[in-house]
């Protein structure tokens, strides 16, 4: 198939700016598509970290007024990534989190900040840069959700549009009074457009008006058609079920590679996993002040601390394992109540429970390489990337059987163990009792070294690279153009 020109539109991009898995996907997918012969350029806001990182700038266009101030669009590079960057000081020249102010609350002008992202994407789609006319505009999550909306209400011809849902819980909802300020036509404020419970829905508009919808795992694509996971959008998604595609995310195998990971105490291949992982476990215990006990089951968690991630359940359950050889290495931040609960737990038993409430990429790699098991007890999980890294690093994933977790981890039930294909421990429903039972099962399997090593080998052999997902996306792009 012929190579296509694709404009990827995202609010965060690894390694430039990251708050979660969206950045990892937005950073890795363009490179995998480029390997297939497609030209991908990513449009991203010019946050301070982005402006500092870009090289080889070419000025594309000056905006006299981009939602409240002047702006400039650059074509640039950052490493292997080809970029369009919106330099708009009044919107993006703010250090720290791209979405939240110093008070921990959403920036009050987030509607304008991310409408600008969608607006510029639409202008590029209509030919703003004579050197790059995209065949496809691929928007990611609500922050880019107005890109297909602006294109829909603009002149023809236009490129085909695709929206990928990374997490349906985050929707971008704003007051209806902003309609004119966001340069949306009156006819957009309908049930078939951006109107959503009396306000403006960025993601809702994208779901209604994009040529196709993707989400990040096949199981999540099914789950969001029902009211429990549909977050109020399940009716619309059922109407558009024929245009909805579940494409499993991949893992950046260069960023997550135990053979070359500079953050590990000892790097390792699958053939020498046991000895090297024991050394990494000791290094992790030392780093975190845990008891240096090779027989302890060291459980790793790298996660946003929230009810969605099920970390309140873990906090509630750990008391049951006071007499067991269980240790915890937790990295993450989020809900203050959950975070304070883990802080108290670590203070009461510092040799068993260690918690770091910060963003620490090197420590995240150490936890993957040194923990025996890796816990993801999410109530819902569109895809999840940490369990993919755990599989690659030989940390046995213990996961809720939901979304992408269900699509990537094979439960160590009797049949899977007998067939020799198990890669982890799955539990459902996502309750305190089921999580406790899963942890007891994990302790039992940890006491069976031969079984444990077989599960590690299975997980490390699995291919969760971006090769296959990129082929699925490329096929979808061609399908849209053919249609």
CA distance 222 to 457: 30
What pLDDT does residue 483 have?
85
Q: For 195-333, where are the E strands, in sequence order? A: 195-196, 199-201, 212-215, 244-246, 297-302, 326-331
Summarize pLDDT for 106-148 with one digit per residue, the tens: 999 999 999 999 999 999 999 999 999 999 999 999 999 999 9
pLDDT tens, position by position, 207-244? 999 999 999 999 999 999 999 999 999 999 999 999 99
Token pair, residue 26, equals 């937005």
69: exposed, middle or buried (Cβ count in 10 Å: 0-12, 13-18, 19+): middle
CATH topology of domain 270-461: Rossmann fold (3.40.50)
- The 8-class DSSP code of residue 155 comes to P
| Position 273 confidence tier, pLDDT thresholds 50, 70, 90 | confident
Work out the pLDDT band at 460, boundaries 50, 70, 90: very high
Q: What pLDDT, on the 0 to 100 scale, is given for residue 136?
A: 98
pLDDT digits (tens, 9 = 90+) for 180-193: 999 999 999 999 99
The DSSP-derived string for 352-372 is TEEEE-S--HHHHHHHHHH-S
CB neighbourhood size of 465 (10 A): 17
Question: 297-319: b or e for each residue (b if 16 or more CB lie within 10 Å)?
Answer: bbbbbbbbbbebbbbbbbbebbe
Looking up tokens 């079984």 gives: 451
CB environment 147-170: b (16+ within 10 A), e (fewer) = bbbbbbbeeeebbbbbbbbbbbeb
- Kindly tell me if the per-residue pLDDT of 11 is higher than 80: yes
Most distant CA atoms of the chain, gap in Å: 68
Render pLDDT for 20-29 as a digit per residue (tens, 0 to 9). Answer: 889 999 999 9
Q: Which of 162-176, 260-274, 291-305 has the lowest mean pLDDT?
A: 260-274
What's the average model confidence in pLDDT over 291-313? 96
Cα(478)–Cα(4) distance, integer angstroms:
8
Residue 43: other Cβ atoms inside 10 A: 26
The pLDDT tens digits for 365-393 are: 999 999 999 999 999 999 999 999 999 99
DSSP code at position 178: G
CA–CA separation, 253 vs 256, rounded Å? 5
Which stretch of 41-50, 318-327, 406-415 has the lowest confidence by average pLDDT? 318-327
Q: Give the DSSP per-residue string, 104-141.
A: SSBPTTHHHHHHHHHHHHHHHHTTSSTT---SEEEEET
Buried b (16+ CB within 10 A) or exposed e, 441-459: bbbebbeeeebbebbbebb
Tell me the mean pLDDT in the region 77-104.
95
**Residue 323's pLDDT band (cuts 50, 70, 90):** confident
Overall CATH class of domain 5-250+466-482: alpha beta
Residue 290: pLDDT over 70:
yes
pLDDT band at residue 1 under the 50/70/90 scheme: low
Q: How far is CA 94 from the centre of its chain?
A: 23
Span(s) in the chain for CATH 3.40.50.2000: 5-250+466-482, 270-461
Euclidean distance between the first and final Cα of the chain, in Å? 15
Give the pLDDT confidence score for residue 117 in this predicted structure: 98
Q: Is pLDDT at 271 greater than 80 in this prediction?
A: no
Q: What is the pLDDT of residue 253?
A: 87
The pLDDT value recorded for residue 96 is 84
Q: Can you tell me the distance from the alpha carbon of 164 to that of 139, in angstroms, rounded to the nearest whole number?
A: 6
CB atoms inside a 10 Å sphere around CB 414: 8
Structure confidence at residue 322 (pLDDT): 86
What is d(CA 177, CA 253) in angstroms, rounded to the nearest whole number?
A: 46
- Segment 72-87 shows an average pLDDT of 97
Whether 393 contacts 230, CB under 8 Å: no
Please name the helix (run of DSSP H) or strand (run of DSSP E) that holds residue 219, with its range, or none: helix 218-223
**Strand (E) positions, 31-112?**
39-45, 55-63, 71-78, 81-87
Confidence (pLDDT) at 2: 77
The arithmetic mean of pLDDT across residues 446-456, rounded, is 96
If one counts every other C-beta atom within 10 angstroms of the C-beta of residue 65, the result is: 8
User: In the predicted model, what is the mean pLDDT of the chain?
Assistant: 96
Supply the pLDDT for residue 127: 96
């Amino acid at each position: 198939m012929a190579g296509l020109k694709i404009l990827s539109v995202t609010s965060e991009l690894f390694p430039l700016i990251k708050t979660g898995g969206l950045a990892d996907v937005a950073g890795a997918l363009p490179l995998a598509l480029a390997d297939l012969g497609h030209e991908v350029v990513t449009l991203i806001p010019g946050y301070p970290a982005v402006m500092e990182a870009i090289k080889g700038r070419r000025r594309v266009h000056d905006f006299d007024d981009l939602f409240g101030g002047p702006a400039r669009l650059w074509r640039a590079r950052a490493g292997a990534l080809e970029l369009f960057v919106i330099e708009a000081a009044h919107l993006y020249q703010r250090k720290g989190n791209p979405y939240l102010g110093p008070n921990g609350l959403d920036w009050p002008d987030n509607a304008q900040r991310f409408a600008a992202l969608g607006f510029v994407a639409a202008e590029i789609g209509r030919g703003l840069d004579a050197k790059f006319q995209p065949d496809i505009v691929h928007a990611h999550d609500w922050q880019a959700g107005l890109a297909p909306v602006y294109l829909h209400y603009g002149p023809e011809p236009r490129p085909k549009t695709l929206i990928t849902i990374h997490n349906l819980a985050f929707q971008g909802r704003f007051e209806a009074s902003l309609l004119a300020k966001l340069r949306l036509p009156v006819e957009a404020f309908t049930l078939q457009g951006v109107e959503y419970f009396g306000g403006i829905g960025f993601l809702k508009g994208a779901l209604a008006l994009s040529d196709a919808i993707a989400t990040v795992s096949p199981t999540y694509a099914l789950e969001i058609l029902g009211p429990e996971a549909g977050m109020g959008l399940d009716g619309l998604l059922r109407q558009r079920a024929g245009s909805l595609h579940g494409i499993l995310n991949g893992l950046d195998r260069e960023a997550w590679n135990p053979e070359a990971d500079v953050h590990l105490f000892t790097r390792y291949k699958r053939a020498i996993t046991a000895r090297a992982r024991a050394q990494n476990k000791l290094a992790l215990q030392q780093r975190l002040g845990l008891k240096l006990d090779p027989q302890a089951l060291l459980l790793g968690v790298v996660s946003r601390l929230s009810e969605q991630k099920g970390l309140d359940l873990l906090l509630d359950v750990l008391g049951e394992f006071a007499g067991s050889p269980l240790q915890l290495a937790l990295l993450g931040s989020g809900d203050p109540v959950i975070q304070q609960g883990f802080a108290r737990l670590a203070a009461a038993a510092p040799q068993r429970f260690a918690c770091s409430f910060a963003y620490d990429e090197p420590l995240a790699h150490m936890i993957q390489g040194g923990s025996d098991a890796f816990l993801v007890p999410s109530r819902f999980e569109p895809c999840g990337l940490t369990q993919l890294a755990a599989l690659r690093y030989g940390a046995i994933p213990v996961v809720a059987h939901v979304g992408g977790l269900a699509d990537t981890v094979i439960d160590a039930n009797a049949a899977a163990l007998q067939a020799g294909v198990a890669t982890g421990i799955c539990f459902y429903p996502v309750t305190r009792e089921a999580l406790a039972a899963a942890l007891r099962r994990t302790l039992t399997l940890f006491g069976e070294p031969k079984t444990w090593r077989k599960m590690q080998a299975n997980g490390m052999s699995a291919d969760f690279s971006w090769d296959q997902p990129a082929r699925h996306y490329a096929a979808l792009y061609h399908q849209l153009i053919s249609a």
